[in-house]
Amino acid sequence: MKGFILSFRSEFYKTRKTLGFWSSILLPLLICLLLFIGFLNNSDKQAHTPALMLWIEFSGLILMIMGSFILPMLIIFIAYSVNNIEHKADTWKSLFSLPISKLSVYSAKYFYAVFLTFLCLALFALFTLGFGNLLSVIKPTLRFSEYHVEGLLARVYLKLFLCSLGILSIQFLLSLLFRDFLKPMGIGFICAISGDILSGNWKYSYFFPYSHPMLAISTIENGVKNSHGNGPMPQIAVDIFTREIFVSLAVALVIFVGGYFIVLKKSVK
């Protein structure tokens, strides 16, 4: 366990000045900021929109951009950047000649990629909340503060996080095995597009990890459509553990374990 913690801390130390790390922070900030500016400019048109609808529009736009394409691509990029730092510096050999078990080195790197994905999605939720509430402070006609969306957003982003793990594991393994940029990125890119297309057109698309973000967004949309209660605080049900989430978790587990055995057998050249 000590080896894992030391390796995890080292991952942070190494990547804290890289684009891979900062993209997890800057991407949610940038997207939320742009939507914040857009809402601010159109605040007059939204003056009479109920609070829930405002939140659905604000966070829904973010989620649609995210789920359709940006989230899979971000995951592909995170998995690539965490491994590329070693390929680029030719440091696999020194990493695996340290007195730390291979399991610690491998799992610390994997969980660091998981952490970056979690950080990014958590920041999306936080910035959505922050900018939404900031809008109601700056423009009191935008009544974001009248509806408490925290719990809903937490569930939505938790679902997105869980459905990211399948893609993350596949991309992590590809980026670990292939030194060049094109193979993991190219495969990931094609799979992400295929996932988008398949999610609406194939009934078994929940078996394909790259379709999971879109499927998760669809279940959230359905939750919104089926919201019940007409009062000021209608309830929106978001079922976190749907079948694509189970598939995503199963894929993540299998690939993580399989990846470890590949690392054990693989020669470090």
Partner 1 sequence: MVIDTEGLSFNFGKQAVVKSLSLKVPEGSIYGFLGPNGAGKTTTIKLLMNLLKTDEGNIHIFGQELKSNRVKILSQIGSLIEQPAIYLHLSGKENLLNRALLLEIPAKRVDDMLDLVHLTSAANKKAGQYSLGMKQRLGIALALLPDPKLLILDEPTNGLDPNGIIEVRELMLRLVKQQQKTVFISSHLLAEVERMASHVGIINNGELLFQGSINELQALNQPQVQIEAENTVDAANLLKRNDFTVTEIDDEHIFVPFTSKQKMGEINSLLNKNGYTVYSINKQQKDLEKLFLAITQSA
Q: What is the contact surface with partner 1 in residues (CB under 8 A)? A: 6-7, 9-10, 13-14, 17-18, 85, 88-91, 93-94, 96-101, 265, 267-269
φ/ψ of 214, rounded to 5, equals: -65, -40
Shortest Cβ 83–partner 1 spacing (Å): 14
SS3 252: helix
Shortest Cβ 16–partner 1 spacing (Å): 10
Range 146-164 burial, b when 16+ CB lie within 10 A, else e:
ebebeebbebbbbbbbbbb
Q: Return the number of the residue (6 or 70) whose C-beta is nearest partner 1.
A: 6
Shortest Cβ 182–partner 1 spacing (Å): 21
Shortest Cβ 116–partner 1 spacing (Å): 17
- Tell me how many degrees the CA angle 33-34-36 measures, rounded to the nearest 5: 60
Q: Return the number of the residue (23 or 136) whose C-beta is nearest partner 1.
A: 23
Q: Which long-range contacts (CB under 8 A, 24 or more apart) does 176-182 make?
A: 176/83, 176/109, 176/259, 176/263, 177/262, 177/266, 179/87, 181/80, 181/84
Q: Return the number of the residue (10 or 49) whose C-beta is nearest partner 1.
A: 10
Q: Return the number of the residue (41 or 97) whose C-beta is nearest partner 1.
A: 97
Q: Return the number of the residue (9 or 243) whose C-beta is nearest partner 1.
A: 9
Shortest Cβ 264–partner 1 spacing (Å): 10
SS3 91: coil
Q: How many beta carbons lie within 10 A of that of residue 54, not counting itself?
A: 22
φ/ψ of 106, rounded to 5, equals: -65, -50
Q: How many beta carbons lie within 10 A of that of residue 230, not counting itself?
A: 6
Shortest Cβ 41–partner 1 spacing (Å): 38
* Cα gap 151→72, rounded to integer Å: 24
Nearest of 189, 217, 190 to residue 80 by alpha carbon? 189
* Cα gap 253→164, rounded to integer Å: 13
Shortest Cβ 98–partner 1 spacing (Å): 6
Q: Return the number of the residue (48 or 269) whose C-beta is nearest partner 1.
A: 269
Q: Return the number of the residue (84 or 175) whose C-beta is nearest partner 1.
A: 84
Q: Return the number of the residue (225 or 269) whose C-beta is nearest partner 1.
A: 269
Identify whether the C-beta of residue 181 lies closer than 8 Å to the C-beta of residue 80: yes
φ/ψ of 228, rounded to 5, equals: -120, 160
